[in-house]
Amino acid sequence: MSWNYFVKAIGWARKYGLRILLDFHALPGSQNGWNHSGRGGSINWMYGPMGIANAQRSLEHIRSMVEYISQPGIKEVVPMLGLVNEVPITDGLTPNLGQGPAGSFYYQAYDMVRKITGFGKGNGPILAFHDGFLDIASWAGFLSGADRLALDEHLYLAFGDGNQAANGAARRAATACGWGGGTNNTQRDFGIVIGGEWSIAMGDCGKWLNGVGNGNSYNEANAATGGCKPLDEWMNWDSTFKAGLMDYALAQMDALQNWFFWTWRIGNSTELGYPSSPMWHYQLGLKEGWIPQDPRAAGGWCKRNNYCQGCYEVRNTVS
């Protein structure tokens, strides 16, 4: 059934002039142990008793998919392939798979794919790999000279601090604009960089966002002021609050440059009767006024608003 909808999505994208970033979010054994990898719990990909075997299985899945999307009429619609989503590499994540093992898998996948597709524009998709939550500068020089390789970063303020609502709209915008310098420098020193995921969430609110049965740290930390409820009830937001969200959105669009918002639409909650998790809901933001109607309005936003001086100027030197 899922394959049928993938094929339909290619047809829909072709019809409406859209392009698809196809990304492997779940690999055999789970590459990160988080619920969106197919199952929560332990990691058994490049780690554990079946780690290498599951990595080999993953390569076969990638091979099959690349052969399919490289066909005429499909390759024009699917110009980019994400090899694996959110491999935990950075310090503080357990287990930490390490940049070396992750890089080895990325190299094996790259080598296999290019042997299938050949090299150069039009010969197979751009290949994106996740930064593992490292500083993206850490990947400078990785596979230097590779054919159409992209680095994928996922920058969220919703996690970690967990209390961005208290920090204020200006601080959130300034933090997001600060990402622009790293994006520009990495595009100069490495190559293509994409913001493969971002949202305007300022806390980990959303039912089961942290996995089924798990709570929300923001809800617990802010119970005295209603927890997640004020952030979820978008119909009660005033114009000032919406303007702050708009600034936060524009700052991220400007800093990340090549981006994919997570996610386009969230359906009505079966408990509440209206769309929940509104800060992850791009379509609702367009309708209600905290997402810009034309994202091109974000170009140069950080500089115009005196955030992160110097982040924007480097952009013209990137080819």
Active site residues: 86, 197
The span from the CA of 109 to the CA of 122, in Å, is: 18
> Tokens standing for 269?
């909650």
Reduced to 3 states (helix: H, G, I; strand: E, B; else coil), residue 128 is strand
The amino acid sitting at 111 is D
CA dihedral 270, 158, 170, 297 (to 10 degrees): -70
Neighbours of 261 (CB within 10 A): 20
With contact defined as beta carbons under 8 Å apart, do 290 and 296 qualify?
no
With contact defined as beta carbons under 8 Å apart, do 255 and 183 qualify?
yes
With contact defined as beta carbons under 8 Å apart, do 125 and 76 qualify?
no
> Tokens standing for 41?
């719990």
> Tokens standing for 35?
């619920």
With contact defined as beta carbons under 8 Å apart, do 90 and 133 qualify?
yes
User: Quick one: which of 211, 212, 204 has its CA closest to 160?
Assistant: 204
C-alpha dihedral sign at 31, 32, 33, 39: negative
The span from the CA of 129 to the CA of 86, in Å, is: 9
